[in-house]
Every structure is written in structure tokens, then in C-alpha cells.
Structure 1
């Protein structure tokens, strides 16, 4: 009994010391503890399965390109890169340079990164990802956002950054079957206030992460005192519906509206499958890394700016392989796709106004799969800033990180806490 007690005491002291180093307050009731990613033991199996996967020599239907799904040559190229040049150990080491933690909230293990600014008046900012993304989407933003920077009117701003994994993603526990974005919002409010000790904070959301982000903005309006979104939990409107509201569009906005119509017509299949039969899909691809790559990789390719990977874009083939590797190695694919079936009303057709006076900031990106003009965004919150960008798509943190960082910093213009 003596040796295990010594080991436990050593771990407890290490946990406290790790928390002190990042300014965290230890909260025994939430079992807050440092966390380090170590999935290396699963990599040989993953690579073996990738190598053994047989793909057709030639496409069954030549000439269709990517119009009916991921291109065969593209998938083969990804497979070869995965086997020859992708380095999980290097990526894992880089990710582990950030301060990772786990906490137990409502019997769920919640994984998150918490990086604090050196500035005493830094704004706590919660960054919420969606599917097929993960906490990795926001890693490129962290180091710049914790630094002090000048924004509008000569004001300076910095952030304490919190990036959790949604329940059922990466290292956060799969939630119960009836779990919704409202439950996720409640857990994240507990994380920010009771576990980390922030009395108020700002939130950013994208894709399915916009669901809990908007619930925080609407229902937890005493603690969530600003929101920045690049997506809305409301279905975009058709051109006819926009016209009925006397909303006219600029040429850029007309392009973005057409982009949504194309996705709604040709790109909605995965949404319907994951909303209705997540178990069939999840079990079919659970132990199939190439299958997960085809399913997830297509969403990255089709949802992004066609110039992805060039200029300031970080969304290249290595980034996609990193994302799929995390899904496969953390064995979260099944629970991740359940988020659609658990939230059949996750994207509403009924636009409602949030019950808050907190500022709402919105950023549109030309190649995003959903589009909401300023007049629509103003219907759901206290819109104070709307910026539209010619570069970027559904993954702006990777595709146009400099623009998203600048837009997030504008939270400081309206922050009054």
C-alpha cells in the first residue's frame, strides 16, 4: 500500500505544480489534471492498415473527377504521403508543447488546451470546433492570440485561450445518447467558470461548435459577454427567401449565396447520413483509416477555398492527414458523427434573437459552405461587427488565419468587463 500512495502523492504534487505554472486553480471536485497526448503505440497498426488497403487501379467511371466524391488519384496520393512522409511523432510532439488538461464534468472527461497571456487583463476566449474538425483547427491561432496586439482606436488586447475537444471528439468522453449542444454549452460554462475560475468570457464557434457557442451567448448571458462566429446554428436562406426580406447582395455575397446553394444541392449527403444512420457509417469506418480519410478528406477539400495550401493558407495535405490520424488513433470517429443524430434541430429554420445585450461579431469567408448576410446575422444577436473575406472557406483558422486572428482581436473593441 505504501508504494502506490507515494506514486499518487507524486502525481498530485505534479498536477498542482502544472496548474500553478499556467495560473490554474486546482479544483478537486473536477479532478483537474495535466494531460499529454501519447498515441504512438497505435501508429504501427494504423500504418499497416493503410499499407494493406487495396484501391482500384483505375476509376470505375473515368471522367467524373471529384463531382461524385473524392477523386481516386487524390486518395492514392494521400495514401502514399501517409506512408512515406507523414510523421505522427513529430506532430504529436508539436501539439504537446501546449498546456493540455483534463477535467471531469458531469461524469465526462473533458480535454482542453489552456494557454494564458502574460497580460493581467487578457480576455478569456473559448474556441469551439465542429466536424470533421477537432481542437487541432485552432492550434495555429494560439501563440498569436495570447500576445498583446493593438486593435481599433489604439486599444490593445490579448487573450487567455481555451480550446476544448467537444464531447465525443479526440480525448473528451463520448456523451450519453441523448446529449445535445445545450448540454455541451452547460458543461463548457462549468469549465470556464467553476473549473478555470473565469467570471466572464468570450466564445468563438464554427460548424457544429456554433451550436454550443450560440447557446452560451443566448442562455449563459451573464458569463458569456461576447461572441464571434463564422457560422450560424440557423439554415441559410435561399435567394428567393432573401429577396422576400428585401435583402440585396453584393457580387461577393452573390457568389457566397451560390456557394451555399451548391452545397445544399450536391454536398448534403454526409449530413443526412450522419443525422439518421451514424452507427452504420461509424462502424463501417471505425477501423479503416483509408475509409476515414476518404470520408473526412473530401469534406476538407470540398469545403475549402480552392487555393488552400497556398499563400497564407495552412490547409495542405499534411494538415488533413493529421486530422484524420487524430480521429483514427483516438478512436473517436463513431462518437464524433453521432453529434448530428443527437441534434436533429441543431440548425434551425426559425431565426430567433439571443437573450443578451453582449456584442456579436461575425466573419464571412468566400468559400464557406453556408452564407448569412449582415441583415440575417443581426436577427439573432447584437451584431456590432461584420467582416467579409475574399480568401478562405469552411476552415478559416487554417485557410486564412491572419484574417481570423484580426477579427477575433476586435472582440477587445467591444469588451467591457
Structure 2
């Protein structure tokens, strides 16, 4: 087979791996709860024991595997790296190709509920003129695109790989959408292929923030909403950013625990699902389906990619999203309640033509508010086709 070959792929986790997961869950050495056993000190033992028990006894991996296998999946090699992706061609003749990019600690499973509405709006009561050919690659080092063979997978290299992927699929013009890491890769696509990317749609973008701390005179010019976002950025840096320091400096050391202990992997991921879903006072499974949460965690577990995902996501020689030129590609932003992007700073590197602030939804947009995200993607690209 040649480097450019696109090969059909089907997920089939060996039964021995399922048995091993259940054995490890059953034999977990649980820590004693810290005083109060609350989210203030991390994931509560009482809560996680219940979720781990469901992972062991209630979660049907085969059913969720079958759901993933219900979509066409493929692998190809790009720049020496195996890349896994879901590719759903719309039956509508005027469909626009759209590449969706996830983040950390997410996966391609984030987008499962929006594939149908995006690719077949007619079947979901929407205008067939808004149809997309949907391409959802797993980031290098994540899931079935892991592990990585070298350490130079920054956003620019990922964007070049995505552009090559779209070219191999026969798409000369296409749109890009993403949140978290995907909100950094997608604008880079516009920079590496401005003549091919017709538009960029973002949510939860870390590239839309000012240098911190913000001078008092500049802070005074912000709206109440913008000041609230600055306060939440400051709170994040004080109370929640420890995981970045660990993943960016010691991803290999972290990987031993996460790859050997499913409860360790689950806790590491669920800490962020609780912090980043909205409203935060709700438990993650009250916002996102519990089986989808566990399918996402299982993709990290079965592929043993906790270390490579951490490495690609944060252990970079250059900071994410710094010093980028404006590609001129039209860009739309849907800022959910948890998001902290601020338009005036996003405009330094992006041609913002649409910005919508809404008072609901969190970081995992496609999982939390899939219908709102779908509607906004359709509306943004309507005039760019």
C-alpha cells in the first residue's frame, strides 16, 4: 500500500481488553476521601466510585462501539503519521465539505450527535441547502490516530495534515470548525490554505484571549460580560491550570498512571468535564449522557494514548496560538456561557464576521448544545458556499 492510500477502518476492541478493563476496575485501590470529599480538592471518591462501578457493570462498550462503526471510518498516513477519521458524505449535491476538530480531553465521539444534522439536514427538518460532507479526524496522538512517531505536531503541522486529508478526499474548497485545540487548528487551516478554506467556525477558542494580567486602564474599557470573562480566566490560572503544567512538562511520567489505571484515567478526564460543562454546579452526567462520557474515556483507555494526547496537546516548543498572522478567511464564533473568548482580542489574528454570545452551554459544545452549535454552523456558512 502507498502512503496516500485511504483504508477503511472498523473499531473492534479485543474481548481480552474488555475483560482486562473490568478486572482492573474491580481491583482498584481507592484512596481515602479527603475532608469533605468535595470537588474543591478534585474528583470526589464517592462520586467516582459510582461512575467506575457503572463503567464496570453497566456501560455496554460493544453497543457504543457499534454506534461509532455506524459511520464510515478510515485511516491514512500523512507526514509519517497514521490518521484516523470519520467521513460522512452528504447525499445533497451542493453539500460543503467541513472538517471538525476536537480538543482535549475530548475525541471524535464529541461529534456523533451532530453528524446526522450536519450531513443530512433534510432528514432533520432543516434546509437541504445547508448540508455538509462531514470529516472528523482524530488529532495525532489521540485515540486511533495514536501514538505519534515524533514530537513536532504543533497546530501548523496538524493544519497542513488536515489540508492534505481534504485534498485526498477530493475536496478543493471546504470549511473548518473546532473548539479547544480544534479552535487553534482551524484558524491555522485558514493560514496554510487560505485559497481552499472558505470559512472558519469556532467555539471555546483559547486563541481569543488577551495577554494576562490585563492593565487596569484596558480592563476599564471592557464590557461587564468581557470583565466577567477576564475574572474567569484569572480564576482558571489560579485554580485549574495545574494539569497544563503537568502535561506540558511531564507527559511521560503522567502516562504511566493513566495507562495502567482506568480509574486514574477516568478521574483525570472527568475533572475537566465537571469544571468545563455548564452550569458547573451540575454533575457531568446531568449534562452529557453518561455512556457518552465513558465512551470518550474508553477511547483513551483502549488506545493507551493518555501520554501522546497530553504531549501533542500541551508539550509544545512554541505556545499555542501566539503571533499568528490574519489569514483573511471569514471567521465566526459561537461563545457559550463557559467560554472566555473576547472579540476585540480575537480580531487581532482573525477576520471575525460573525460573533454570537449565548448564556448557556459549556466547553464541550457538540455534546452539551449540539442543536445550537449545528444551527450556528449552518447560518455562518450559508453565505460562504
Structures share a fold, TM > 0.5?
yes
Q: Distance in 2 between matches of 1:310 and 1:336?
A: 23
Q: How far apart are residue 309 of structure 1 and its match?
A: 6.1
1:364 aligns with 2:338: no
1:97 alignment counterpart: 70
- Per-residue CA shift, 1:291-310, capped at 9, x if unaligned? 10111111111111134668
Q: Distance in 2 between matches of 1:288 and 1:33?
A: 32
What is the correspondence of 1:163-242 to structure 2 with a 5 Å cutoff? 163-175=136-148, 176-193=150-167, 195-234=168-207, 236-237=209-210, 240-241=214-215
Contact 2:121 2:131 in 1 (8 A): yes
Larger Rg: 1
- Per-residue CA shift, 1:287-343, capped at 9, x if unaligned? 2111101111111111111346689x4x13322211111111111111111114542
Q: Distance in 2 between matches of 1:87 and 1:255?
A: 41
1:259 alignment counterpart: 232
Q: Distance in 2 between matches of 1:310 and 1:329?
A: 22
2:355 alignment counterpart: 386
Residue ranges of structure 1 left out of the alignment (5+ in a row):
1-26
Q: Distance in 1 between matches of 2:186 and 2:378?
A: 17
Return closer, same or farther for 1:318/1:243 CA change in 2, 3 Å cut-off: farther
1:398 alignment counterpart: 367
Deviates further, 116-125 or 207-216: 207-216
1:244 alignment counterpart: 218
Indicate the RMSD between aligned Cα atoms, in angstroms.
Answer: 2.4
From 63, 80, 99, the counterpart of 1:126: 99
Contact 2:180 2:204 in 1 (8 A): yes
Return closer, same or farther for 1:387/1:68 CA change in 2, 3 Å cut-off: same
Q: Distance in 2 between matches of 1:340 and 1:102?
A: 21
Q: Distance in 1 between matches of 2:201 and 2:293?
A: 25
Q: How far apart are residue 232 of structure 1 and its match?
A: 3.1
Secondary structure of the corresponding residue to residue 133 of structure 1? coil
- Per-residue CA shift, 1:358-409, capped at 9, x if unaligned? 21000111123xx122222222211111111211111011011111111111
- Per-residue CA shift, 1:346-369, capped at 9, x if unaligned? 43455x44122x21000111123x
Contact 2:95 2:129 in 1 (8 A): no
Q: How far apart are residue 81 of structure 1 and its match?
A: 1.1
Work out the number of aligned pairs and report it: 377
Q: How far apart are residue 185 of structure 1 and its match?
A: 1.0
Return closer, same or farther for 1:289/1:364 CA change in 2, 3 Å cut-off: same
Q: Distance in 2 between matches of 1:155 and 1:171?
A: 32
Deviates further, 165-174 or 236-245: 236-245
Q: How far apart are residue 174 of structure 1 and its match?
A: 2.6
Return closer, same or farther for 1:239/1:276 CA change in 2, 3 Å cut-off: closer
Return closer, same or farther for 1:331/1:159 CA change in 2, 3 Å cut-off: same
1:326 alignment counterpart: 299
Deviates further, 253-262 or 394-403: 253-262
Normalising by structure 2, what TM-score? 0.91
Q: Distance in 2 between matches of 1:341 and 1:124?
A: 29
From 111, 116, 131, the counterpart of 1:143: 116
Q: Distance in 2 between matches of 1:319 and 1:148?
A: 23
Q: Distance in 2 between matches of 1:47 and 1:137?
A: 24
Q: How far apart are residue 283 of structure 1 and its match?
A: 1.9
2:84 alignment counterpart: 111
1:63 aligns with 2:32: no
Q: Distance in 1 between matches of 2:364 and 2:217?
A: 28
Q: Distance in 2 between matches of 1:283 and 1:181?
A: 26
- Per-residue CA shift, 1:260-305, capped at 9, x if unaligned? 2221210000001001111100122212111101111111111111
2:18 alignment counterpart: 43
What is the correspondence of 1:263-302 to structure 2 with a 5 Å cutoff? 263-302=236-275
Secondary structure of the corresponding residue to residue 103 of structure 1? strand
Q: How far apart are residue 162 of structure 1 and its match?
A: 0.2
Q: Distance in 1 between matches of 2:216 and 2:268?
A: 32
Contact 1:275 1:344 in 2 (8 A): no
Secondary structure of the corresponding residue to residue 171 of structure 1? helix
